[in-house]
Structure 1
Amino acid sequence: MSLFKKLLPALAALAVFIAAPAMAAEITDVTGRRIELELPAKRVLLGEARQIHVAAALRGEHVFDTIVGWRDDLIKKDPDSYAAYRERFPAIADLPLFGYIPSGDFSLEAAIALKPDVLTLNLEAQQAVEESGFIEKAAAAGIAVVFLDFRVDPAKNSVKSVEILGALFGAKERAKEFIAWRGAQIALVTDRLAAAGAIKRPKVFIERSPGITGETACCRTFGPANFGEMVEKAGGHNIGSDVTTTNFVDLNPEQLVVADPEHVIVTGSNWAAESDINQFVNVGRGAEPAAARERLAALMQRPGFTTLKAVKEGRVHAVWHQFYGAPYEFVPIQQFAKWFHPELFADIDPDRTFREFHETFLPIAYRPGYFVSLRQGGE
Structure 2
Amino acid sequence: MNSMKTKALAGSLFSLLLLTLLALPATASDSAAESDILLSVLGNANEDGAIDMKDVEYTESIILGSGNRTQFADATGDNSIDMLDVTKIELIKLGKAKELTLVDGVGRQVNVALPVENIIPTDYRTTETLLALGTGDMIVGVDRAFHERMSEFGLTELPEVAMHGQSVDYEMVLTLKPDIVLLPLWQAENADEIAKNLPDTSVVVMGLASQKSIDSDLTTMGFVLGKEAEVNELLSWMQGYEVLVEERTKDLKAEDMPAFYYEYMSGGEEKWWVITPDDPSAGQVAEGTGGLNIATGLAGTSVEVDPEWVIEKNPDFMFADLMKGFDSGPGKTKEDMENLLGKVLSGRPGFEKVNAVKNNHVYLVDRDIIGGPRWVIGHIFFTKCMHPELFEDIDPAEIHKEYLKKFHNLEVAGTWAYPLPE
Counterpart-to-counterpart distance in 1, 2:100 and 2:392:
47
The 1-side partners of 2:122 and 2:399 are apart by: 29
- Aligned match of 1:268: 322
Q: Which has the higher contact order (CA 8 A, sep 6+)?
A: 1
Aligned to 1:135: 195
Please, which of 149, 170, 183 is the counterpart of residue 121 of structure 1? 183
How far apart in 2 are the matches of 1:233 and 1:96?
A: 40
Indicate the larger mover: 180-189 or 351-360.
351-360
Matches within 5 A, 1:90-239: 92-100=155-163, 105-130=167-192, 133-138=193-198, 141-150=199-208, 154-155=211-212, 157-196=213-252, 200-212=256-268, 216-224=269-277, 225=279, 226-239=281-294
Whether contact under 8 Å (1:300, 1:306) holds in the other structure is: no
Describe the SS at the equivalent of 2:246.
helix
Q: Corresponding residue for 2:383?
A: 337
Number of the residue aligned with 1:6: none
Compare CA radii of gyration and give the structure with the larger one: 2
Amino acid of the residue matched to residue 219 of structure 2? E
Aligned 1:321-336 pairs, distance under 5 A: 321-336=367-382
- The number of equivalent residue pairs is 325
- Structure 1: runs of 5+ lacking an equivalent: 1-19, 87-91, 273-281
Question: Which string of whole-angstrom CA distances, capped at 9 and with x for unpartnered residues, describes residues 270-311 of structure 1?
Answer: 655xxxxxxxxx221332111111121232122242221111
Matched, 1:290 2:327: no
Look up the match of 1:49: 124
Using structure 1 for the length normalisation, give the TM-score.
0.79
Displacement, 1:94?
2.6
Distance of aligned partners of 1:349 and 1:120 in 2 relative to their CA distance in 1, 3 Å threshold: same
Q: CA deviation at 1:264?
A: 0.9
Contact conserved, 2:179 with 2:202, CA < 8 A, in 1?
yes
Give the drift of 1:198: 5.1
Q: Residues 283 and 372 of structure 1 are in contact (CA less than 8 Å); yes or no, is this contact kept in structure 2?
A: no
Give the residue type in structure 1 aligned to 2:238: R
TM-score, with normalisation over the residues of structure 2? 0.71
Residues of 2 paired with 1:321 and 1:341: CA distance?
Answer: 21
Percent of aligned positions that are identical: 22
1:330 CA drift (Å)? 0.7
| Separation in 1, partners of 2:235, 2:309 | 38
The corresponding residue for 1:250 is 304
Q: Is 2:110 the partner of 1:35?
A: yes
Q: Provide the rounded CA distance (Å) in 1 between the counterparts of 2:313 and 2:272.
A: 13
Distance in 2 of aligned mates of 1:309 and 1:326: 31
3-state SS, counterpart of residue 233 of structure 1: coil
Please state if 1:85 is matched with 2:147.
Answer: no
Task: Give the letter for the 1:154 counterpart.
Answer: Q
Q: Secondary structure of 2:398's match?
A: helix
